[in-house]
Structure 1
């Protein structure tokens, strides 16, 4: 996604794991819980991850202060979901901007306990965020064939966020037949609840309808939740 060089977008990555941070291409990096995990992972302990995020609260707030819109991406299923609601409520206090969250839920093979923790995290997170997009990891299997690697499958999930962010930024910075400004996008995304993001392209007859249908049918995200608002 960073390699896509989206116009008007800055990337920030936060992690307790210094090795993971070192592999990231993001220009802005935050080491969470420097005095707690000592640069290592949180060891699948949600409470430890929560404390680590809260320790860097001021640093995160300062980095987000001049932003206009925020997109968060939490991919590691149950671990991150279990603590992300606390991170959202703690770290973004005083930084009130429209925000969209893309989070993943575990594979069924990871067991019922992880699924339970992830579902609880989604429910709690929904209380604090404007727009929430849930990517079930289990749906990645439906998109993969025998030659698909796990890394390639996860890139499908990455593309969900890329399409969403690019769609929003393009509406703002690129002129179209019907121009939208930031206030319009803010109105649509603020307090939207559960959502999906999709895109569609068609050059055939009836292309507007076909492109809209493509945008609304995403096998990775599942069914479209009922919503009075839509951006295509």
Structure 2
């Protein structure tokens, strides 16, 4: 059963954060940045299934989980800045408690391997992504000098083998360079609870070294997630073949592997898009994937429970899929959810996923009922027995817009080829499971990509 655990509303200097996880109890959040309202009770999760039937009304999500609906009764409820209801003494007590509980905070490291991985990390830093430690690993010392990553976190590998001049597009050199620097890589990942290894597959360093970096982290008991891209077709057949071989090796050295085919991104851009912008889009997709997961874990006061839930879903999960959707206007949250589950990055539907991690980001005008609307879309599709984790981030710069990132894990797969997941059987996971009619699409329309209609996967066309 998928169980919902709502967390406290907490704030940071730039972002107001809301976290809700599925599968366990949660204490009230703490934050060293803002004083926290004391009037909220401690919540326990409901054990109700999120199974949706035709008899449910459109607020079934809130009915199944009254502990969420109690947070706001009015339709214009908004996640707002938490007001100060503490005395000075109690405030200092909470701050002291925060400082004494820092050992509970999870350490997340993002390691960009090779040129593509380094570019993705650079993009994450430029977007002011907080709560994670960034590293880049490369055989090209000159390229590393241009990175905004702290100089102490730039790790040149294979200096005896490559003399800092790169791998020349040869994955074997990249692999040997990483093996040469095994001790340095081990020191870099030391102390992490979770490591993201990101790379652009097909070249020399990323393809050859990423599996080595990931393998070292995983062997140390660190939750290791690989998130990589495959080359655009115009980059040539050789890079495509090398990418497939590298992905096959990487899959054996990570807990969860998310593969993003760059060619899929072409469906989201116009024909006049410059090549440089296309590569920037690929970097940004990697950024959104990492951020969608890390934001949930790094919510102040929620680290302990949320990280345990994330580990439960992503440890030894194998190949996973990612969907990203955005929306604006009156039905923006539902539209964003629909776009996420119908994302061209998802080769197949999410119905057979045994674990879902999804994150919604909106401005200060994001309402509780919009979060509910997005949740209804996703829960209507997933297996009722799936384990889910949900997080919400309030970003003032996104006023008027909503963005959703969804990671689907734990597929029961028959075979894996070219970074795609092929499922056992063609029928529904649970033929007897009732699916609610798509009433949540009322009030707005979402254009269904043509390729989805042809595949017959969408239930909303």
Identify the structure with bigger relative contact order (alpha carbons < 8 Å, sequence gap 6+). 2
Kindly indicate whether residue 156 of structure 2 is the aligned counterpart of residue 31 of structure 1: yes
Q: In terms of Rg, which structure is larger?
A: 2
Alignment-derived partner of residue 70 in structure 1: 195
Preserved CA contact (<8 Å) 2:177 2:209: no
Alignment-derived partner of residue 172 in structure 1: 297
The counterpart of 2:207, out of the listed 81, 84, 90, is: 81
Give the C-alpha shift of residue 37 in structure 1: 0.8
- Structure 1 residues 126-137: aligned runs within 5 Å: 126-137=251-262
The counterpart of 1:2, out of the listed 122, 125, 142, is: 125
The counterpart of 1:12, out of the listed 135, 138, 142, is: 135
Larger fraction in helix? 1
Give the C-alpha shift of residue 213 in structure 1: 2.0
Aligned to 1:158, the other structure's residue is in SS state helix
Give, in whole Å, the separation in 2 of the partners of 1:108 and 1:200.
Answer: 24
The one-character-per-residue Cα deviations of 1:196-229 (angstroms, maximum 9, x if unpaired) are 2344455666665433222223224544564211
Give the C-alpha shift of residue 40 in structure 1: 0.3
Q: Which moved more, 1:93-102 or 1:184-193?
A: 93-102
Alignment-derived partner of residue 187 in structure 1: 312
Aligned to 2:159, the other structure's residue is in SS state coil
Give, in whole Å, the separation in 2 of the partners of 1:50 and 1:16.
Answer: 10
Preserved CA contact (<8 Å) 1:101 1:132: yes
Q: Which moved more, 1:195-204 or 1:113-122?
A: 195-204
Alignment-derived partner of residue 354 in structure 2: 228
Q: Give the TM-score of the pair, scaled to structure 2.
A: 0.45
Residues 174 and 2 of structure 1: CA distance in aligned 2, closer, same or farther (over 3 Å): same
Q: Which moved more, 1:127-136 or 1:115-124?
A: 115-124
Preserved CA contact (<8 Å) 1:15 1:31: yes
Residues 67 and 194 of structure 1: CA distance in aligned 2, closer, same or farther (over 3 Å): same
Alignment-derived partner of residue 116 in structure 1: 241
Q: Which moved more, 1:93-102 or 1:215-224?
A: 215-224
Kindly indicate whether residue 186 of structure 2 is the aligned counterpart of residue 61 of structure 1: yes
- RMSD, aligned α-carbons: 2.7
The one-character-per-residue Cα deviations of 1:53-107 (angstroms, maximum 9, x if unpaired) are 1111111111111112111111143533355324432x33642211211112223
Q: Which moved more, 1:124-133 or 1:165-174?
A: 165-174
Aligned to 1:63, the other structure's residue is in SS state helix
Residues 78 and 222 of structure 1: CA distance in aligned 2, closer, same or farther (over 3 Å): farther
Preserved CA contact (<8 Å) 1:78 1:115: no
Long gaps (5+) in structure 2: 1-123, 359-461
Residues 224 and 15 of structure 1: CA distance in aligned 2, closer, same or farther (over 3 Å): farther
Preserved CA contact (<8 Å) 1:14 1:32: yes
The counterpart of 1:141, out of the listed 260, 266, 273, is: 266
Give, in whole Å, the separation in 2 of the partners of 1:202 and 1:136.
Answer: 23
Give the C-alpha shift of residue 14 in structure 1: 0.6
Alignment-derived partner of residue 214 in structure 1: 339
Aligned to 2:148, the other structure's residue is in SS state coil
Q: Give the TM-score of the pair, scaled to structure 1.
A: 0.85
Give the C-alpha shift of residue 113 in structure 1: 3.8
Give, in whole Å, the separation in 1 of the partners of 2:233 and 2:126.
Answer: 31
Preserved CA contact (<8 Å) 1:50 1:86: yes
Long gaps (5+) in structure 1: none
The one-character-per-residue Cα deviations of 1:158-181 (angstroms, maximum 9, x if unpaired) are 2222222222222223379xx952
